[in-house]
Amino acid sequence: MDSAPQDQNWHLESEGLLAGYDGTAVCGEFNVELHSGSALALAGANGSGKSTLLRTLSGRQKPVKGRVRMDQAPIDERSLNYRLRVAAVFDDDAFFPSLTVNEHLLMIALGHGRVDAAAAVDSELHFFGLTNHAEAFPHSLSSGQRRRLLLASAFVRPFSFLVLDEPEQRLDQTMRHRLAERMVRSTAAGARILMATHDPLLLSAAADRCALLDGDEVAFVAPGHAAETISR
């Protein structure tokens, strides 16, 4: 079940954006609009600035220059609007050690007001292959299973903007395919997706645009072209 709220009209936009640290940009100026039903991938070599740009575009990090607006207002990760709409998966293995897999997902679903929380949790456990681990604590999961739990935590709640930093990490090929299909379903339901990835499969199957980062250059290319480029 996909659960993007019906808010088709707003969009995310960046203008004159430079992302980086201590006043120094790590990649080129980034101007983009991300509308309902659209999935943008950031690709490029290690260190090209994908994660930094992703964090900046999603309001987790202050820009060196320029601005990011969500719903025509400066993006603010503490705002109610942000919390209601943005689901993000970064590379932080942050779980409560004393909560089971099932309890984690239930807490997130209930916290985001899902009236069908128990059914939503069952559905995500099934989708992410965690049903047999529902009563396990996070420390007893494999690293790939913990990654699946992180992803399930994003999909179990309603969102209209999904942010994924290298979601392919530690996932097997079957799960990558399933994730790509799921992302396509989410955009079809009206969500906006922004991801950083090294995975040609996710690029070509789940994105409709790709920004290739290379030094000061940002090139918007077709995902298939980017997938070929990074496969070489």
Ligand X SMILES: Nc1ncnc2c1ncn2[C@@H]1O[C@H](COP(=O)(O)OP(=O)(O)OP(=O)(O)O)[C@@H](O)[C@H]1O
Tokens 């991801």 correspond to 195
204 lies in the site for ligand X, by CB under 6 A: no
How many residues belong to the site for ligand X (CB under 6 A)?
11
- Contact segment (CB under 6 A) with ligand X among 5-13, 40-48, 169-177, 204-212 equals 40-48
Residues in the chain, total: 232
* 173 lies in the binding site for ligand X (CB under 6 A): no
Among 26, 32, 154, 183, binds ligand X (CB under 6 A): 26
The piece of 7-15, 41-49, 99-107, 184-192 that touches ligand X (CB under 6 A) is: 41-49
35 DSSP 8-state letter: -
Q: Say which residues have a Cβ less than 8 Å from residue 66's Cβ, sequence separation at least 6.
A: 14, 15, 16, 17, 18, 29, 30
140: which residues sit within 8 A by CB, 6+ positions away? none
What is the nearest approach in angstroms of ligand X to the Cβ of residue 210?
14
Regarding 46 and contact with ligand X (CB under 6 A), the answer is: yes
Is there binding between residue 14 and ligand X (CB under 6 A)?
Answer: no
Among 49, 59, 138, 223, binds ligand X (CB under 6 A): 49
Distance CA 208, CA 220 (A): 11
What phi and psi, each to the nearest 5 degrees, are found at residue 40? -110, 130
Q: Which is nearer to ligand X, 50 or 85 (CB)?
A: 50
User: Is residue 56 involved in binding ligand X (CB under 6 A)?
Assistant: no
Buried-exposed string 52-62: b where 16+ CB fall within 10 A, e elsewhere: bbbbbbbbbbe
Strand partners, 68: 14
Q: Is residue 44 part of the contact set for ligand X (CB under 6 A)?
A: yes
Using CB under 6 A, pick the residue from 21, 111, 113, 142 that binds ligand X: 21
In the block, which residue shows the tokens 């396990």? 136
Q: Give residues in contact with ligand X (CB under 6 A).
A: 21, 26, 44, 46-52, 196
